[in-house]
Amino acid sequence: MRRTPSRRPFAAALLVASVLVPVSVVPATAVPAAAAPARHGTDDCPEHGKGHGHGHGLGPELTARLDKAIEDVRREAGIPGAVVGLWMPGKGSYVRATGVADTATGRPMTRDMYVRIGSETKTFTVTALLELVDAGRVGLDDPIADYVDGVPGGSGITLRNLAEMRSGLYPYTFDPDFQHDLLSDPSRSFTPEELLAYGYQHANTADPGEEFQYSNTNLVLLGLVIEKVSGRPLAEFIHRRVLRPAGLRHTLFPGDATFPEPHPRGYTDQTLTGETTDATDWNPSWAWAAGAMISDLHDLRSWAKTVATGTLLSPRTQAERLKTLPTGIPGTRYGLGIFETGGWIGHNGSIPGYETVTVYLPEEKATLVVMINTDITVDGQEPSSLLARAVTEIATPDHVYDRPFPQN
| Of 319, 321, 399, 326, nearest in space to 365 by CA | 399
Q: Using the predicted structure, report yes or no on whether residue 54 has a pLDDT greater than 90.
A: no
Least confident of 25-29, 31-35, 361-365: 25-29
> Has residue 66 got a pLDDT over 70?
yes
Residues in a beta bridge with 272:
none
- The mean pLDDT of 245-265, rounded to a whole number, is 97
* Least confident stretch, 55-59, 65-69, 338-342, 370-374: 55-59
Please give the mean pLDDT across all residues of the chain: 89
3-state SS class at 139: coil
Dump strand ranges (E) for 265-361: 267-268, 277-278, 294-296, 325-326, 332-334, 339-341, 344-351, 354-361
Weakest-pLDDT range from 30-39, 136-145, 220-229, 274-283: 30-39
pLDDT at 399: 97
pLDDT at residue number 57: 85
Q: Region 277-290: what's the mean pLDDT? A: 98
Among residues 146, 154, 116, the alpha carbon closest in space to that of 13 is found at 116
Q: Look at residue 352 and tell me whether its pLDDT is greater than 80.
A: yes
Which stretch of 27-41, 191-205, 273-287 has the lowest confidence by average pLDDT? 27-41
Instruction: pLDDT band for 27, please (50, 70, 90 cuts).
Output: very low
Q: How confident is the model at residue 35 (pLDDT cuts 50, 70, 90)?
A: very low
User: Which residue has better confidence, 198 or 42?
Assistant: 198
pLDDT of residue 206 exceeding 50, the answer is yes
- Mean pLDDT over 220-229 rounds to 98
- AA identity, residue 69: A
Report, as an integer, the average pLDDT of 270-279: 97
Residues in the chain: 408
Residues 317-332 have pLDDT tens digits of: 999 999 999 999 888 9
> Of residues 12 and 116, which shows the higher confidence score?
116
Which DSSP category does 170 fall into?
P
CA distances from 15 to 20, 81, 251, 317 (A): 9, 23, 20, 25
Q: pLDDT digits over 295-317, tens only?
A: 999 999 999 999 999 999 999 99
- Closest listed residue to residue 254, CA positions, set 48, 115, 101, 132: 115
Question: In the predicted model, what is the mean pLDDT of residues 72-87?
Answer: 98
Q: Return the pLDDT at 313.
A: 98
Give the 3-state secondary structure percentages of the chain, helix then strand then coil, rounded to 5.
35, 15, 45
pLDDT given for residue 329 in this prediction = 87
Q: Are 178 and 198 in contact (CB under 8 A)?
A: yes
pLDDT for 61 beyond 90: yes
Q: Which residues make Cβ contacts (< 8 Å) with residue 319, sequence separation at least 6?
A: none
Residue 249: pLDDT over 50: yes
Cα-Cα-Cα-Cα dihedral of 234, 237, 240, 241, to 10°?
-120
pLDDT of res. 25: 25
pLDDT in tens, 138-154: 999 999 999 999 999 99
- Report whether pLDDT(52) > 70: no
Residue range 10-34+60-395 forms a domain whose CATH class is: alpha beta
Whether the pLDDT of residue 28 is over 80: the answer is no
Please give the pLDDT value at position 20.
26
Backbone conformation region of residue 281, classed left if phi is above 0, alpha if psi is from -120 to 50, else beta: alpha
